[in-house]
Structure 1
């Protein structure tokens, strides 16, 4: 399905470090070869977006820009050569895509893909080094982390789009793009949690809770959650945590909980 570019859709555009997000009417070009244009249904915000908005790393600054990298949407149109996706498919954008043919993608280290690995310096499309977003006057609007989801429509490389079950709960599915996959991945890949393990997780935000779910799925026997906000402990229990510590009033080292008796 090939459609022309269109002007008249809204996006939250950042025009400088710590500048307010501006709801602007933009043009979204059609997808080129091996690209996909998707309609964003739900998007969430991550601390990485906040850091980019602040412009903490001067070398990574590129404005005006559309941030956002956690979302879920529908395929609106596809470019030449895209055969595994079609209009109407439910998808999530991913900032860490897979080309499928580089030395990393042909092994088990696809997260290091030579073309689509995480690259905060990248602000244009891989195909031609240009933007698919622009203002009415033709001013380019830069991309972010291969995704840019704070917009009604976005154009991505097909390597950065994953088809999902259409029955998935869309309001929650956007978290799979980063928060859930990062936390679960930390438990499964980085820590390689084994059945019967004792695990300590410091910080019970979205990533910490996802890491707990990953540890529970691997069969960890003790999952110790640490946070200075005890109000998060109930949610931690729902995600599989068995013990809790508050660094402000802890009376013994965490390892005594992990290998001995006790815990809160």
Structure 2
């Protein structure tokens, strides 16, 4: 597949390029030519260089998480600014950027609060598939195509709002930093910002995919003395151990509920539990794995649409804490570019999380790897 040829001056023109369209759930993506409109005021058009595949994208394709279709999925992207709309000041054409599923408008009550990161202009909790003005910027076969969370990265070019774009260091390795749009801050933030894991503590991580693996890295960096990894796919155990997991459990091989085994292993429960699967059963299991009085459970896996979480309130009354967080509670534009610099300065290493890299046209093969549990994170290269 050849990258679309674009003239030197394209800021006011429609760009025709390749994108992967999800016309319906439970079907392969279709790689087709799409038209991408010029950026409107406050918007940025970005040439995608790399994009990670996240479990959320897989859930959408499986029909578990409902978003408007047909759509261009993908929300973990790194690219180069191609053109900007009127009023955009934080980035310029040629800048390397990350795009975030949660924007930071720096004006709403949550952005202005020191602890808030769920900007009121987000499109994650109630995805409309449209830009803030209620329209689309993608067209395919004469039909308007929805976006995902206001970004859409499974395309050679995309349109995003300036409030969802962060300029990163010009030397950033673009084939890797895309996973810092979602997986890395989600996992690290769950450890450092939400749970605040302490040295010498015990932890359990349910789900050892990209986000769960980032959680493991964060727990190890925080000085946790024991990190129990839980997954039904034992192929994930060796890389998880390399990242810091000390014990592994496959619930399907146990004679009793996994939370009971965790409590037996830890003398009554762990200090910190993390759920990175997105199932209500594992959320309850993670909560039940915690110690009374001071155990903290953090939910970061996205559950299927219309799920309801139900558990005995006596789990909470003795002092356990149940928390949630999206994108690690980081203020995206302000904080995540700084994480990129920390990575480049070798303060931590995200490279082990990327187990596969494939050309964009092999996106369906990448989803097969993800679905089969053969990868931690697969990155598409454009």
| TM-score, with structure 1 as normaliser | 0.87
CA distance in 1: counterparts of 2:34 and 2:209, whole angstroms: 34
- Higher mean C-alpha deviation, range 146-155 or range 170-179: 170-179
In the alignment, what sits opposite 2:187? Answer: 183
Alpha-carbon contact 2:228-2:247 (below 8 Å) kept: yes
More helix by share: 2
Is 1:130 the counterpart of 2:135? The answer is yes
CA distance in 2: counterparts of 1:228 and 1:62, whole angstroms: 31
In the alignment, which of 113, 118, 123 is matched to residue 119 of structure 2? 113
Question: 1:61 Cα deviation (Å)?
Answer: 4.2
Distance change (3 Å), C-alpha of 1:142 and 1:5: farther
Q: Report the 3-state secondary structure (helix = DSSP H, G, I; strand = E; otherwise coil) of the residue aligned with 1:85.
A: coil
In the alignment, what sits opposite 1:3? Answer: 11
User: Matches of residues 65-84 of structure 1 in structure 2 within 5 Å?
Assistant: 65-84=71-90
Is 1:225 the counterpart of 2:233? The answer is no
User: Matches of residues 1-264 of structure 1 in structure 2 within 5 Å?
Assistant: 3-56=11-64, 60-116=66-122, 118-126=124-132, 128-135=133-140, 137=142, 139-247=143-251, 248-249=253-254, 253-259=261-267
Q: Deviations over 1:26-74 (max 9, x none)?
A: 11111111111100111122221122223345xx442321111111111
Instruction: Give the gaps of 5 or more residues in structure 1.
Output: none
Alpha-carbon contact 2:45-2:159 (below 8 Å) kept: yes
CA distance in 2: counterparts of 1:47 and 1:164, whole angstroms: 25
Instruction: Give the gaps of 5 or more residues in structure 2.
Output: 1-8, 269-382
Question: 1:161 Cα deviation (Å)?
Answer: 1.0
Alpha-carbon contact 1:11-1:150 (below 8 Å) kept: yes
How well do the aligned residues superpose, as a CA RMSD in angstroms?
Answer: 2.3
Distance change (3 Å), C-alpha of 1:102 and 1:167: same
Question: 1:20 Cα deviation (Å)?
Answer: 3.1
Q: Deviations over 1:195-224 (max 9, x none)?
A: 221111122221211101111222212212
Q: Report the 3-state secondary structure (helix = DSSP H, G, I; strand = E; otherwise coil) of the residue aligned with 1:27.
A: strand
Distance change (3 Å), C-alpha of 1:74 and 1:215: same
Distance change (3 Å), C-alpha of 1:89 and 1:37: same
In the alignment, what sits opposite 2:328? Answer: none
| TM-score, with structure 2 as normaliser | 0.62
Alpha-carbon contact 1:90-1:165 (below 8 Å) kept: yes
CA distance in 1: counterparts of 2:21 and 2:207, whole angstroms: 31
Alpha-carbon contact 1:99-1:116 (below 8 Å) kept: no
Runs of 4+ in structure 1 deviating by more than 3 angstroms, as ranges, are 54-57, 228-231, 249-252, 255-260
Aligned length: 256
CA distance in 2: counterparts of 1:50 and 1:246, whole angstroms: 22
